[in-house]
Chain A
Amino acid sequence: MMDAAEASKKLEQELGNDFQGITSFRDEVSVQVSSERIKEALAFCRKTLGFDYLVDLSGVDNMNEQPRYEVVYELYSYEHGCHLRVKTGVDEAEREVPSVVDLWPTANWHEREAYDMFGVTFKGHPDMRRILMWEGYPYFPLRKDFPLAGKQSEMPDVAFSDSAPLEGGPFVTSPTSAGTDKREPRSREFDS
């Protein structure tokens, strides 16, 4: 039986300098891999290390950081019973990562969702369309610079959208160890 630490060590040996670091938090192991060799790294995880299940694939927008976007692969091995999280940065100008549909067919819809919400395209994906919003919707709503209330858009005979009245919101909780009166959701000002 192999655990996540062992798996990440093997991955590091395989990738060398393109293995950009490992973090461990509450027994969850995350490894950072360069965007050039992410496909190779994931193929290695799938074929050699035996991570046969892609639990989730998601996008992250770290606005004002370089690189801006991130794609996170949550892997699991039924054989070894261990999880491994693989992350890779995605450049804002390129916004492209290789698709892993050929490794895990379940990635198909996950990648479409990441594309729909963040505008990150997946090279080699068999059907790179939006999955939740309609074709022709002009925005990528989970980006940090997209307002929570939404934006006005119009696609005749397909769909339209409008911005929602927030009535003083968004109402946001503050992470603090103080009592609930400090923690509970309140309308707060944001620097945008």
Chain B
Amino acid sequence: MATETAPAAYDSKIEGNIIFTRLDAAINWMRSNSLWPMPMGLACCAIELMATGASRFDISRFGAEVMRFSPRQSDVMIVAGTVTYKMALAVKRIYDQMPEPKWVIAMGACASSGGMYRSYAVLQGIDHLLPVDVYISGCPPRPEALLEGLMRLQGKIAEENSLIAQKRELLEEIS
């Protein structure tokens, strides 16, 4: 069932200080513009992630500058780097500790597919363990690519039926 969740049109001359919108659209707007990342930096992609957070690229332009090193305060896990089998279950555990709603960005070739490491030591893509929302290509991706990925994720969140999903979960819990 697809539901229209695009924000309602706003005309400041008519509506003044009152904005009419759908609750879903409002929630999605708030969620997508303050994504708090969990920086899961595991390899060189983490350096690009840091560059994205720094002044030249400035991830705060997209509301995602609040890097949380505690999973319990974060919304989106950015898996930046090579996930070795030794680290894999630790990444999963940190993901499990993040509160809903949560999203995952697989940053770079290694996190997406194992990259150049077709080897005994490397997990062949974090999507074997976590549900990934956005894959970013590159080795490592440039900060622009990460920002593009973040914007794609914002676009994805904007189309979610957050309230309906929450309601359904609530009803399932009650019944």
Q: Give chain A's interface residues, CB within 8 Å of chain B.
A: 132-134, 139, 141, 146-151, 157-167, 169-170
Q: Give chain B's interface residues, CB within 8 Å of chain A.
A: 85-86, 88-89, 114, 117-124
Cα of A156 to Cα of B154 in the assembled complex, Å: 36
Give 18 A-B contacts (CB < 8 Å), ordered by A residue.
Answer: A132-B121, A134-B86, A141-B121, A146-B120, A147-B120, A148-B120, A149-B118, A149-B119, A150-B121, A151-B120, A157-B89, A159-B89, A161-B85, A164-B119, A164-B120, A165-B124, A166-B118, A170-B118
Cα of A15 to Cα of B117 in the assembled complex, Å: 44
Determine the chain B residues whose CB is within 8 A of the CB of A161 once the complex forms: 85, 120-121
Determine the chain A residues whose CB is within 8 A of the CB of B114 once the complex forms: 164
B contact patch SS: loop
20 additional A-B pairs beyond A150-B121, A162-B85, beta carbons within 8 Å, are A132-B86, A132-B121, A133-B121, A134-B86, A139-B120, A148-B119, A148-B120, A149-B118, A150-B119, A151-B120, A158-B89, A159-B86, A160-B88, A161-B85, A162-B123, A162-B124, A163-B120, A164-B122, A165-B118, A166-B118
Q: What's the minimum C-beta distance from B61 to chain A, rounded to whole angstroms? A: 38
Given contacts A149-B118, A170-B118, contact A164 B124 (CB under 8 A): yes
Cα of A141 to Cα of B85 in the assembled complex, Å: 13
Cα of A159 to Cα of B88 in the assembled complex, Å: 7
Determine the chain A residues whose CB is within 8 A of the CB of B85 once the complex forms: 159-162
Q: Which residue of B lies closest to A163 (CB)?
A: B120
Q: What's the minimum C-beta distance from B134 to chain A, rounded to whole angstroms? A: 23
Determine the chain B residues whose CB is within 8 A of the CB of A163 once the complex forms: 120
Determine the chain B residues whose CB is within 8 A of the CB of A170 once the complex forms: 118
Q: What's the minimum C-beta distance from A116 to chain B, rounded to whole angstroms? A: 11
Cα of A165 to Cα of B123 in the assembled complex, Å: 11
Determine the chain B residues whose CB is within 8 A of the CB of A132 once the complex forms: 86, 121
Determine the chain A residues whose CB is within 8 A of the CB of B120 once the complex forms: 139, 141, 146-151, 161, 163-164
Determine the chain A residues whose CB is within 8 A of the CB of B117 once the complex forms: 164
